[in-house]
Structure 1
Amino acid sequence: MERTLLLARQQRPLAAWGYYAFPYCFNMNGGASGRSENCSPDVQRENNRIMWLFDGSDIIFPSVYLRQKLSPSEREQLIRGRVREAIRVAQRTKPRRKVLTYLRYVYTDTIQYLTESDWINALAAMKGTGSDGIILWGSSFDLNTRQKCTSFKAYLDSTLGPVLSSLQPRYVVENLAEPST
């Protein structure tokens, strides 16, 4: 992984590099009684063990894909816990790496679009926990038919676009990464 980052940086020196979904967290998994907002100490130790990966990255890219089966407050806990772990790891890098959080625009368990309230809550949780920005993510499967494209356009016009437009001026990332030396 470290050599891949070095090679990628040689091939595309102006790009910002890192690995999707790192650091791991695995919070909010399991039964309702076993869910925790925070990453487990074992996972934090593992993330500490692979600090070389974060030191070799330009940006930290946690993933906070949401599941509809979680309650709205549990979805916020999932986001806060994962972003908090990414911030903890980023604070140990020199210089401190930015954190850009991946969020898919559909719930991963139902493939239904996120609600307006989930967008507002998710973006607030990311910003409040210290994320430097967001990467909206989807799959080619989400847009592989005319009907799906038409549906996404309607969603973009009615829900996602207005939410992002209302928040964008206050949530802009500038100078994302300074290439590592």
Structure 2
Amino acid sequence: MSDVKMMTKDLTPYQDRTALIGVFTALSIVFGIAENFIGLPLPGLRLGLANIGIMLAITMLDFKAAFAVAFLKAIIVPLVTGNFIVKVSIGLPATLASTFLMLTYFKLCGRFITSVSMGALGGLVHITVQFFMAGILYIQSPAIYGLLPYFAAVSTACGIFTGYTALMINGYLKRSQ
């Protein structure tokens, strides 16, 4: 019997779902905190590893679970890493918007897509919303949008990487059930 099946064999479907939400949220939070120690060439840019838990919730659970994971990640990671107000005012709308669009994309095209394309979409939407929120709240200059294409290209590439990672984890979890 596999490890995952062994751990969840006595759980009801509701308990199993709740446990998975907890696992995906914890995964997102741990990756979100760890990401702060990974340097990338563009300031403020992250790999998006924290979004793996959200993508797993989208593909393995449902929209409520995905939004729960996304919301908790967007609140708890800034609480732990600091600069709460700025990170939440920019990151929470971006996380919720990217989660909504990834969910919509998955629901409309589910069996024809993978987490890789979903991650690319999520990365692009996330950075775009972050730029618009920063432009509205903090940097009232149109010059900020001149940087968006560069950040969008890198964010899409990072989204492809995190999507591929989510695809590998999802495959492992499905094989172990």
TM-score by length of structure 2 reads 0.33
Identify the structure with the greater strand proportion: 1
More helix by share: 2
